Amino acid sequence: MDTITLAHGSGGRLSRELIEEIIYPIFNNNNGHELYDSALLPLKKGTIAMTTDSFVISPIFFPGGNIGKLAACGTINDLAAAGAIPKYMSVGLIIEEGFLIKDLQEILISLYETAVEADVYVVTGDTKIVERGSADRIYINTSGIGIVPEGASVSPKNINVDDLVIVNGTIGDHGMAILSCREGLSFGVNLKSDCTPLNGLVKELLDVGGISCMRDPTRGGLASILLELAHQSGTKMEICEKAIPLHPSVRAGCDMLGLDPLYLANEGKLAIIANPSKEEEIMRVLQSHPLGKNAQVIGRVASRDLKGTVLLETDLGVKRPLMLLEGEELPRIC
């Protein structure tokens, strides 16, 4: 059996074999939870955070990861950025007939390894097979549950004037890495997606305190997430172009394709809004962590502003408002 067939989705023997021989052996960190259709999860004190996300990315394998790793990181990071400790995850697979089982295994193994790295249990799931042509190879949905410890709160409500805007490293790496796998485009050999679980870093940051709010800027990039936070908190943020860390290959790729790195996707980045009194400690934690060594303070919350604006101070010292992306970013011709 090398490829997925429609019979794998029939609910019969092949379905069972796929689940028992291919999928279950990979997800064996279920902490004593049997992989039933519903998982029963004991609760501790605190608030429950829940999130869900679907992953339909193409290509499914890219420098620095694949759709499985991405599906795990996406959900883990959504929970972590909400201040939750991610605990449990479900995995829903929609697979196109003809998909290679070895590719499925590779994808699930990296999903699993990411979950283990983040101390998250895969506790339930679902698999559907669809006819050739009805899906683009494989789609993954992950949902996650996390616990927000009592007293912890990260929310746009907490954002105050004078708070700092910090990023934990170079932005746009994931978006540009995906583009760089297109035939005929390459932006240097060492550009990889930043796809990684952030909950470890987040925990250290929350232990320091002083974090008003956090978000992981995925699709839509840093610009979109800052605009959203400014809008939700009713503030005006000012960020400085010079301070925003960029990988040279991202810079070169953006120049070549006419794209703006502020709108490129990230999968291992955090936009952190923090109290300035904690700047030193927060930067120390960030810069001594492998996922934060290129962290930078890129701006601050300048004032209250119900409209929610973000001003970018360009290299020429001009302050111009950032706009929400209208439609998708399309690479240009020349």
Q: What is the C-alpha to C-alpha distance for residues 166 and 295, in angstroms, rounded to an integer?
A: 7
Task: Please report how many Cα atoms fall inside a 13 Å half-sphere around the Cα of residue 321, on the Cβ side.
Answer: 9
SS3 187: coil
Smaller CB separation from other proteins, 20 or 260: 260
Number of residues that bind other proteins (CB under 8 A): 25
Q: Is residue 316 involved in binding other proteins (CB under 8 A)?
A: yes
Residue 35 carries which DSSP code?
-
- Binding map of other proteins across residues 272-311, x = CB under 8 A, - = no contact: ----------------------------------------
Q: What is the C-alpha to C-alpha distance for residues 244 and 173, in angstroms, rounded to an integer?
A: 13
Smaller CB separation from other proteins, 89 or 259: 259
Q: Which stretch binds other proteins (CB under 8 A): 10-18, 281-289, 292-300, 319-327?
A: 319-327
Smallest separation (angstroms) from other proteins to the CB of 176? 12
Q: What is the C-alpha to C-alpha distance for residues 293 and 17, in angstroms, rounded to an integer?
A: 45
Smallest separation (angstroms) from other proteins to the CB of 264? 13
Q: Is residue 240 involved in binding other proteins (CB under 8 A)?
A: no
Residue 118 carries which DSSP code?
T
- In this structure, the strands spanning 85-96 and 121-130 are parallel
Q: What is the C-alpha to C-alpha distance for residues 21 and 17, in angstroms, rounded to an integer?
A: 5
- Binding map of other proteins across residues 197-236, x = CB under 8 A, - = no contact: ----------------------------------------
Which member of 258, 288, 303, 304 binds other proteins (CB under 8 A)?
A: 258
Q: Is residue 43 involved in binding other proteins (CB under 8 A)?
A: no
- Backbone torsions φ then ψ of 111, nearest 5 degrees: -60, -50
How many C-beta atoms surround the C-beta of residue 150 within 10 A?
10
Q: Is residue 37 involved in binding other proteins (CB under 8 A)?
A: no
Listed residue (173, 175, 332) closest to 258, CA to CA: 332
* Distance, CA of 207 to chain centre: 21
Smaller CB separation from other proteins, 21 or 255: 255
Q: What is the C-alpha to C-alpha distance for residues 52 and 92, in angstroms, rounded to an integer?
A: 10
Interface positions, 136-195, toward other proteins (CB under 8 A): 179, 182-185
Smaller CB separation from other proteins, 306 or 334: 334
Smaller CB separation from other proteins, 179 or 282: 179
Binding site for other proteins (CB under 8 A): 179, 182-185, 255, 258-260, 314-320, 323, 326-327, 329-334
